[in-house]
Amino acid sequence: MKYVLSIDQSTQGTKAILFDEAGGIVQKAYRAHRQIIDERGYISHDLNEIWENLLSAARECVEGREGEVAAIGISNQRETSCIWNDNGPLAPDVVRGNDGEFYLYYATDEFDSGTHVAVCDTPAGKYKYLGFVRNSDGTKMMKFIPGDPAVINDNGTIRLYYGWALSMVASLAHTGRVVKNITKEMILESEIRLFKRTREDVLASEGGSVMGAVTCTLADDMLTVTSEPKRIAPGQFMAAGTSFEGHAFFEASSIRKIGDTYYFIYSSENCHELCYATSKYPDRDFVYGGTIISNCDVGYHGRKPEDRLNMTDNNHGSIENIGGKWYIFYHRHTHRSSFSRQACAEHIEILPDGSIPQVEVTSMGLNDGPLEAEGEYPAAMCCNLTNGHMPQIIRRTTDEDIPYITDGNGERYITNIKQGTMIGYKYFAFAGTYEFSLSWRGEGGVLTVSDGENALGKIALMPAKEWTQFSCKLAAQGVKPLYLTYSGEGTGELLNLSFLPQKDSTAGEQS
């Protein structure tokens, strides 16, 4: 049987309907996209979000019927036309060459595009395209998968790290399908199809696979490979029996050298954490060290994936020393989307034995310690945002009924706050009694304010069409988290919160 796929790409979302030969509806799918409103009230759309939504809706309709679609009908936003450029740069990294110039390495959306290089005399740009990483004969270097490059000038030796791998967690979060009884032939066919390689290319690679994290060295021209690429960390399907099992390499290579130890930081198969591996050598003997950060606190103090404290997606970042302190830079997600990311940082410790304990997500960022309980803070800096069953997604936008951070009219705020929503901020330094206020918009209800152990106050919220201040008095001493839990039958939004120190000792009363 042949089918017709109808796609309606409108101002609100993308609808796909699959019809059979008799005109009957076989399958329907819908993906809403964000309405991005600027300070003038003008609306725009994210083209990458629309593209991913179109692919997701179409795939849901034709699943199991690939090759049987005879025609596609398209209805779009009237005379609107768009041009997509999907050639990066993605996952860039910068290194200073031996000539003093700065070189930007980046990948693109296409696995067969290679690794590209641009050059500038300052690290901030403006960069000029130099070329692609190449073999000694001038051909494009395509051994393994040239994705997410990382570079380091190791006492005059330029080392390039790169790679990608399949993840079953990512596959489930992206498609919603569980793949069982995976065979070596299935993996081989996936590598051929996804990475645009021949069977001979894949089988000729180390271990019969092109997946995993890889390193090689470059000449002073910053383009020519001078050593054979070697795998340093396995992907999920090669990790069994190694120290990486359960936290295998997925993507987002990064490399640091601290003393005489190389630290390889990467995003794991679990698609929410940044992990690290160490070695005394730059190109071999890397051993898994642990998780540095999870953007939903999974693994921290034994937290399970089903108890994640945020909507999760993949993670990218690395460690850096600033003012004598080490930090992990990473991202959390906003707008219910894989493509909207909130840059974050947490202070970490590198212990005398070289290990890095996992740290929790906080709202403190680069602040030197807890935040002062005084003045105004944006609601969007929350480090925990959950309704008790937050999803994990990959490379898509979800329309699930969850609280999330969004923006509009030049403001960033939390939206879709409903019964049971918990919003967390870590940590504040409290020293007495405060008038605690917040800006709320939406339907009424009650916000319970607590430190996770003790209730500090309650705020009765009245229905409000515009941002309206509501407050209560609270008292607390010491460094504590602050949690806001909503009770009510309505839906609301939160813009900011503020603390005004008080001289009296009355707390917990609404004002």
Q: How far is Cα 9 from Cα 288, in angstroms, rounded to an integer?
A: 45
Report pLDDT digits (tens) over 365-406.
999 899 999 999 999 999 999 999 999 988 888 889 999 999
pLDDT beyond 90 at 293: yes
For the chain, how far is it from start to end, CA to CA, in angstroms?
68
Over the chain, what is the mean pLDDT? 92
CA 5 to chain centroid, in Å, comes to: 32
More confident residue, 53 or 292: 292
Place of tokens 């008799």: 22
Concatenate the DSSP letters of all residues of 240-254 into one string.
Answer: TTSTTTTS-EEEEEE
Q: What is the structure's pLDDT at 85?
A: 60
Q: Any idea which of 43-57, 241-255, 381-395 has the lowest mean pLDDT?
A: 43-57
Report the range out of 176-185, 205-214, 413-422 with the highest average pLDDT: 413-422
Q: What is the structure's pLDDT at 507?
A: 52
Q: What is the structure's pLDDT at 38?
A: 65
Q: What is the structure's pLDDT at 49?
A: 80
Q: What is the structure's pLDDT at 471?
A: 96
Alpha helices in 143-236 (DSSP H): 168-175, 184-194, 199-204
Domain extent listing, the chain: 3-75, 90-317, 371-502
Q: What is the structure's pLDDT at 78?
A: 64
Helix (H, G, I), strand (E, B) or coil at 379: helix
Q: How far is Cα 161 from Cα 369, in angstroms, rounded to an integer?
A: 34
Helix (H, G, I), strand (E, B) or coil at 207: helix
Place of tokens 């939160």: 494
Burial of 222: CB neighbours in 10 Å, binned 0-12, 13-18, 19+ = buried
Q: Work out the average pLDDT over 430-452.
A: 96
Concatenate the DSSP letters of all residues of 91-148 into one string.
Answer: EEEEEE-TTS-EEEEEE-S-TTS--EEEEESSTT---EEEEE-B-TTSSB--SS---S
Q: Any idea which of 167-176, 223-232, 293-302 has the lowest mean pLDDT?
A: 167-176
DSSP label of 21:
T
Concatenate the DSSP letters of all residues of 414-465 into one string.
Answer: EEEE-TT-EEEEEEEEEEEEEEEEEEEEES-EEEEEE-SSSEEEEEEEPPEE
pLDDT beyond 80 at 124: yes
Q: How far is Cα 77 from Cα 11, in angstroms, rounded to an integer?
A: 6
For 445, left (φ over 0), alpha (ψ -120 to 50), or beta?
A: left
Q: How far is Cα 294 from Cα 280, in angstroms, rounded to an integer?
A: 26
Q: What is the structure's pLDDT at 112?
A: 79
Whole-number Cα distances in Å, 213 to 93, 164, 207, 237, 430: 16, 7, 13, 13, 45
Type and span of the H or E element at 364: none
pLDDT beyond 60 at 33: yes
Residue 504 banded pLDDT, cuts 50, 70, 90 = low
Question: Which residues, other chains included, contact 503 with Cβ-Cβ below 8 Å and sequence gap of 6+?
Answer: 433
Q: What is the structure's pLDDT at 506?
A: 53
Whole-number Cα distances in Å, 117 to 31, 151, 500: 36, 11, 51
pLDDT beyond 90 at 113: no
- Beta carbons of 151 and 157 less than 8 angstroms apart: no
Q: Work out the average pLDDT over 496-503.
A: 94
- Specify the pairing of strand 3-9 against strand 69-75: parallel
Q: 90-317: what fold?
A: Tachylectin-2; Chain A (2.115.10)
DSSP label of 296:
T
Cβ neighbours around 253 below 10 Å, total: 28
pLDDT beyond 70 at 503: yes
Q: Work out the average pLDDT over 301-309.
A: 95
Q: Work out the average pLDDT over 483-504.
A: 94
Q: What is the structure's pLDDT at 91?
A: 85
pLDDT beyond 70 at 134: yes
Question: Which residues, other chains included, contact 302 with Cβ-Cβ below 8 Å and sequence gap of 6+?
Answer: none
> Tokens at residue 102, please?
């700065």
DSSP label of 337:
B
Q: How far is Cα 424 from Cα 218, in angstroms, rounded to an integer?
A: 46
Q: What is the structure's pLDDT at 383?
A: 97
Q: Any idea which of 253-257, 300-304, 407-411, 458-462 has the lowest mean pLDDT?
A: 407-411
pLDDT beyond 70 at 87: no
Q: 3-75: what fold?
A: Nucleotidyltransferase; domain 5 (3.30.420)
CATH of domain 371-502: 2.60.120.260
> Tokens at residue 253, please?
């290579």
- Beta carbons of 44 and 52 less than 8 angstroms apart: no
More confident residue, 37 or 100: 100
Q: Any idea which of 3-12, 345-354, 372-381, 493-502 has the lowest mean pLDDT?
A: 3-12
Residue 84 banded pLDDT, cuts 50, 70, 90 = low
Report pLDDT digits (tens) over 326-356.
999 999 999 999 889 999 999 999 999 999 9
DSSP label of 38:
-
